[in-house]
Amino acid sequence: MSVTLYGKVFYKGRIVETGIEIENGVIKKIGKSVGGRKVRGLILPASIDVHVHFRDFDERDKETIETGSLAALHGGVCLVVDQPNTKPLVDSFNAYKRRMEIAKRSSFVDYSLNLALTNENFEKIDEIVDRVEKRYFLPAIGEVFIQHNDKNLQIDYEVLKNLKTKKPIAIHAEDPELVRDGFPNFKYRLPKAEIVAVKKCLSIGNYHFCHISTFKALKMISESNSTCEIAPHHFLLSTKDYERLNGLINVNPPLRDYEESKTLLKNLCLAEVIASDHAPHTVDDKIKGSPGFPGVETLYPMLVYLISKSILDISLIEKITKNPAKIFGFKGYGEIEVGNYANLAIFNLKRIEEISCEKLHSKANWTPFEGFKAIFPEKVYIRGVEVLNDGEILIEKGFGRILTKI
């Protein structure tokens, strides 16, 4: 099957007017000589969200791979990395296989999965990795928790120091000695907990740090050989949103004060990746203090809006496309380039709308970004197939590929 598109394209870090020739799902040629249908809007690479929690298993009431991936599709995402701290955990080959089989039947977008590190499996983690990698593509080990209320998931620094593995390790960095329980949690999980944990981890080795929320930690990581991601709630929200969020404030790591969030916004260039940390809970659970925000559907649309208003630079697109593919080894993903999959999201920059949970597709049925302005994609292509057209889904669940051994 051959498709050709022509229009304004984000190519090699800038916007150019050019054509894209697609054959059998792969970009065959890019150039002005390529004919094709004139596309209204901006042609961007579909995004990669390297940090989502699609729940499922025993928490199907909060989210499923089906509903989470549907939300991702509407947000211009072509590939997700699901986190393994599910109930039950993805901490063994059998658990990994079971989850991948669910994804194969139900995901609308391409799907990959990390492996959990626990105090019960760390001594045999390489054995589990080897089994998994005989069949599947494993992006990383983690999210590894330095602090967690479940002591099986709270990994001591000594375990990290003695861990021998060839896989990237993704760290949730908050020092357990500096974390206390309480509501709202931003009063009890202080910035120092993240800064200290990052400093200790950097003294041990190189890691990928999840959802960094403080400028001091971000700067330390940027001056090292490690990488990190930032979630939109940490640079677009702050503790000033306490009243507006009406009790649904908790997220780990917590929201920081207004000045901290603005400093992160101004220094996004120091992070390699932007990821949603999509963590849906029911509203009842949120009222009881459960930490986490849904965000896989709103991340890219909010970024595109901020870029359209010159608040953010267009180069930041690479933090949800090119950089994740490079860091985690997703071959064929991340850029509009010859030889890559034709994963595209087309945005009409004039089509600005306010985010409303009524229009979103996560089971969470709420969003911390209610009323924020965004530009949602009008069309999405995954592997050359038009999968979304003006809100209409053109594929069935299970279209998304699970990433197998490459």
User: Which residues form the catalytic set?
Assistant: 277
Three-state DSSP at 79 gives: strand
273: β partners: 229
- In this structure, the strands spanning 385-389 and 392-393 are antiparallel
Burial of 103 (0-12, 13-18, 19+ CB in 10 A): buried
Separation between Cα atoms, residue 155 and residue 152, nearest integer Å = 8
Query: Which DSSP letter does residue 211 get?
Result: S
**Extended strands (E) in 93-214:** 110-113, 141-145, 169-172, 208-209
210 near 233, Cβ under 8 Å?
no
The helix (run of H) or strand (run of E) holding residue 196 is: helix 191-204
Three-state DSSP at 35 gives: coil
278 near 295, Cβ under 8 Å?
yes
65 near 54, Cβ under 8 Å?
yes
Print burial letters for 299-325: b (CB count within 10 Å at least 16), e (below 16): bbbbbbbbbbeeebebebbbbbbbbbb
Three-state DSSP at 350 gives: coil
Minimal CA–CA distance to 296: which of 3, 65, 20? 65
